């Protein structure tokens, strides 16, 4: 096992996440997280020329995969740590996942969120009982703000991706994908997943490669925020141009995670970048054809397939739809073809 079972016994040098860690997380999440289905669309199969499964984490509690990692992390805090509360920083989905997990476990939570986060994500985070501290993502340092608040309160910081328990929790998604595909009599040639800081990809790719070593795992990132793609090319962690902008608010990490990067570097077949216009078109396709509401960041993996940047012709594949917490006004603009 790559790290101790207790939250205070992490062994990060070297840090590894094993299938056993992910299976242990699945045990903690049983009865708490939704085991989202693996669904198949004849229309999508026909368009892409393969057998395509979709993993709709839009149906997960709090509307995104983030609940998995958050609950796995918070459930392992000691009683004193729970009493002192937790502090997290997030553009929205991790915020909601932590807020809900904290509510379920009776833990006070404060979330540091960008002032330009979709209003629905801020409202939902507060709705789960968390305190919200807004900041300017372009002029302020969210990590520094969270660290200062945590120091003042004696709280535990719950990072969005650079934590082994978070990564293991997210990895339960990959575990489910492989097991559900096998139950349908399918061997997966390809899995496509979004990449932000890399926690979901690190956990998912670890589970997939452990259970199905021949499956190629591909990542998708927003253009301008494709720092993991560029990192794979250079062999070192790259950073994002501060001037970059994207509608994919859930994936705007400035650099690959310190813990997630080496895992993804080892596991991934490659990463592609998709534009906002391509993402918007995929969102319209998901709504009109698949009957699914998917937020921009949650739709980049589907975009990679629909654009042919990851070619699925003649292949059996699973595509992760990582979240559905889209701002209503933004979604209306997308559906009107304004983006």
For this structure, is 55 an active site residue? Answer: no
Q: E strands of 257-302, at which residues? A: 268-274
Q: Which of 55, 66, 121, 209 is catalytic?
A: 66
Catalytic residue among 75, 117, 155, 322: 322
Is residue 133 packed enough to be buried (19+ CB in 10 Å), middle (13-18) or exposed (0-12)?
Answer: middle
Q: What is the DSSP letter of 16?
A: -
Contact 305, 194 (CB under 8 A): no
Can you tell me the distance from the alpha carbon of 322 to that of 111, in angstroms, rounded to the nearest whole number?
21
As a whole number of angstroms, the distance between CA 88 and CA 67 comes to 13
Alpha-carbon distances, residue 204 vs 59, 189, 195, 211, 283 (angstroms): 18, 15, 11, 11, 23
Antiparallel, parallel or unpaired: β 156-158 and 190-194:
unpaired
Task: Respond yes or no: is residue 322 known to be catalytic.
Answer: yes
How many Cα atoms are found within 13 Å in the side-chain-facing hemisphere of 160? 29
Query: What tokens appear for 294 in the block?
Result: 């998917």
In Å, what is the CA distance from 99 to each residue of 71, 96, 157, 233, 291?
10, 5, 13, 36, 28
Which residues are marked as active site?
66, 322
């Amino acid at each position: 096992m790559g790290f101790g079972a207790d939250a205070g016994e992490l062994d990060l040098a070297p840090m590894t996440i094993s299938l056993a860690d992910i299976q242990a997380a699945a045990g903690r999440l049983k009865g708490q997280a939704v085991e989202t289905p693996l669904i198949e669309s004849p229309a999508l199969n026909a368009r892409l020329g393969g057998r395509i499964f979709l993993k709709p984490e839009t149906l997960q509690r709090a509307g995104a995969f983030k609940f998995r990692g958050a609950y796995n992390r918070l459930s392992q805090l000691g009683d004193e740590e729970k009493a002192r509360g937790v502090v997290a920083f997030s553009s929205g989905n991790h915020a909601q996942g932590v807020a809900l997990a904290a509510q379920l476990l009776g833990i006070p939570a404060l979330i540091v969120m960008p002032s330009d986060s979709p209003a629905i994500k801020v409202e939902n985070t507060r709705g789960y009982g968390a305190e919200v501290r807004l900041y300017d993502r372009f002029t302020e340092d969210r990590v520094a703000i969270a660290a200062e608040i945590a120091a003042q309160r004696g709280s535990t910081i719950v990072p969005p991706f650079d934590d082994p328990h978070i990564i293991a929790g997210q990895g339960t998604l990959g575990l489910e994908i492989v097991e559900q595909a096998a139950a349908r009599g399918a061997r997966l040639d390809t899995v496509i997943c979004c990449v932000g800081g890399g926690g979901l990809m690190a956990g998912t790719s670890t589970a997939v490669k452990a259970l199905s070593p021949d499956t190629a795992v591909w990542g998708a990132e927003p253009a301008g925020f494709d720092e993991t793609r560029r990192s794979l090319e250079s062999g070192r962690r790259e950073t994002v141009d501060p001037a970059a902008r994207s509608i994919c608010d859930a994936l705007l990490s400035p650099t690959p995670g310190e813990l997630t990067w080496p895992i993804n570097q080892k596991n991934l077949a490659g990463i592609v970048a998709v534009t906002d216009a391509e993402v918007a078109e995929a969102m319209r396709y998901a709504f009109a054809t698949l009957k699914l509401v998917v937020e921009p960041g949650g739709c980049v993996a589907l975009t990679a397939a629909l654009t042919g940047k990851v070619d699925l012709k003649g292949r059996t594949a699973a595509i992760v739809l990582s979240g559905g917490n889209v701002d209503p006004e933004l979604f209306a603009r997308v559906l009107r073809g304004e983006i």
